[in-house]
């Protein structure tokens, strides 16, 4: 199996998730060439030893594995399939790994375009938010061929605690939609519970601690409720990005003639939160919109 000395990495995207993820590869000894929209965003990685690339194509030149971690499907299309995209320069036998949460059909389109060039392609979205990215404990859901997955596994192992091959091209993205559907209504429930506790005059931190040990316990409750209590609504995952994911899931549901009313309601609530100016905050900032709707004040509060 390849090790960090043998695999050269091209990395595209240095946002909240991409920056620490790429940092783990550098810390593990992988040679990395990095591209981001502005060089300033890549500065922490350059200080760790990454080499700067002026375009996604430049990052892909000579790379064994090229990872893209950007915001929206249109960004994926640009950095992978565009004139200066990864596939314009990736060498035969290279492996492209798109870790953006994106559209399953786009993953299939990229897979087919890569196949024509002799390049392996994997769709590999992740779950775990900024905490998982910083701690290298992400859940990585992969779609593609087994032999290509095996080539990229040394990279995945430095980024995640759970790495599963879900099936062929697009299966990683479909699995991420399953994840987002499960989270969406649950996050609404967490935020509503906190608003209720506030209105009832409870010791909110103690209430959260109590219910976390029972059937109400969840990753979102344990990780986001304490942030909300500190008045910390910085994005581990932005509301606007979550809306993008919910839109993809609903589009896939319509294509499959599925009725998912809980998902549709969650999307509407998050759209309202974004319209109220919360789109660049973390997904738990839905609490602020729900609190305002009920006339509940929520600031920096720890009872």
pLDDT, tens only, 33-60: 999 999 999 999 999 999 999 999 999 9
Half-sphere CA count of 223, side-chain side, radius 13 A: 18
**Cβ neighbours of 172 (radius 10 Å):** 30
CATH number of 9-169: 3.40.50.720
Q: Is the pLDDT of residue 302 over 60?
A: no
> What's the chain's average pLDDT?
95
Catalytic option among 84, 117, 176, 238? 176
CATH architecture of 175-294: Orthogonal Bundle (1.10)
Confidence label for 1 from pLDDT (cuts 50, 70 and 90):
very low
Q: Are 125 and 141 in contact (CB under 8 A)?
A: yes
Model pLDDT, residue 35: 98
Q: Is the pLDDT of residue 97 over 50?
A: yes
How far apart CA 52 and CA 153 sit, in angstroms, is: 24
Model pLDDT, residue 5: 52
How far apart CA 279 and CA 272 sit, in angstroms, is: 9
Q: Are 35 and 54 in contact (CB under 8 A)?
A: yes
DSSP state of 41: G
Q: Is the pLDDT of residue 2 over 50?
A: no
187-215: average pLDDT: 96
Domain coordinates in residue numbering, the chain: 9-169, 175-294
How far apart CA 90 and CA 117 sit, in angstroms, is: 8
Phi/psi region, residue 128 (left: phi>0; alpha: psi -120 to 50; beta: rest), is left
How far apart CA 44 and CA 224 sit, in angstroms, is: 26
245 vs 300, more confident: 245
Of all residues in the chain, the percent with pLDDT exceeding 70 is: 97
How far apart CA 157 and CA 152 sit, in angstroms, is: 9
182-208: average pLDDT: 96
Q: Is the pLDDT of residue 4 over 80?
A: no
Model pLDDT, residue 6: 78
From 164, 128, 120, select the one nearest 145 (Cα to Cα). 120
From 66, 61, 113, 114, select the one nearest 91 (Cα to Cα). 61
pLDDT, tens only, 270-283: 999 999 999 999 99
Q: Is 244 a catalytic residue?
A: no
pLDDT, tens only, 69-96: 999 999 999 999 999 999 999 999 999 9
Alpha helices in 200-260 (DSSP H): 204-212, 219-229, 239-255
Confidence label for 299 from pLDDT (cuts 50, 70 and 90):
low
């Amino acid at each position: 199996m390849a090790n960090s000395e043998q695999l050269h990495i091209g990395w595209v995207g240095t946002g909240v998730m991409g920056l620490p993820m790429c940092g783990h590869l550098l810390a593990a000894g992988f040679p990395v060439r990095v591209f981001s929209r502005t060089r300033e965003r890549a500065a922490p990685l350059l200080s760790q030893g990454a080499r700067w690339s002026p375009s996604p194509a430049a990052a892909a030149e000579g790379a064994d594995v090229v990872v893209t971690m950007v915001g929206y499907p249109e960004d994926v299309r640009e950095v992978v399939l565009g004139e200066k995209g990864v596939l314009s320069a990736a060498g035969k036998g290279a492996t492209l790994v798109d870790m953006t949460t994106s559209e399953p059909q786009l993953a299939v389109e990229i897979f087919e375009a890569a196949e024509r060039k002799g390049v392996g392609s994997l769709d590999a979205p992740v779950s775990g938010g900024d905490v998982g990215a910083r701690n290298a404990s992400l859940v990585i859901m992969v779609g593609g061929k087994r032999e290509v997955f095996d080539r990229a596994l040394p990279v995945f192992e430095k980024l995640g605690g759970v790495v599963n091959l879900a099936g062929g091209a697009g299966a990683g993205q479909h699995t991420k939609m399953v994840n987002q559907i499960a989270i969406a209504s649950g996050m609404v429930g967490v935020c509503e519970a906190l608003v209720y506790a506030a209105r009832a005059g409870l010791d909110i931190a103690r209430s959260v601690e109590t219910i976390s040990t029972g059937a109400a316990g969840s990753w979102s409750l344990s990780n986001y409720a304490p942030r909300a209590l500190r008045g910390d609504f910085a994005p581990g995952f932005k509301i606007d990005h979550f809306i993008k994911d919910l839109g993809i899931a609903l589009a896939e549901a319509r294509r499959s003639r599925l009725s998912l009313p809980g998902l549709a309601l969650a999307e509407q609530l998050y759209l309202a939160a974004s319209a109220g100016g919360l789109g660049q905050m973390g997904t738990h900032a839905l609490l602020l919109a729900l609190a305002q709707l009920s006339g509940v004040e929520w600031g920096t509060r720890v009872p």
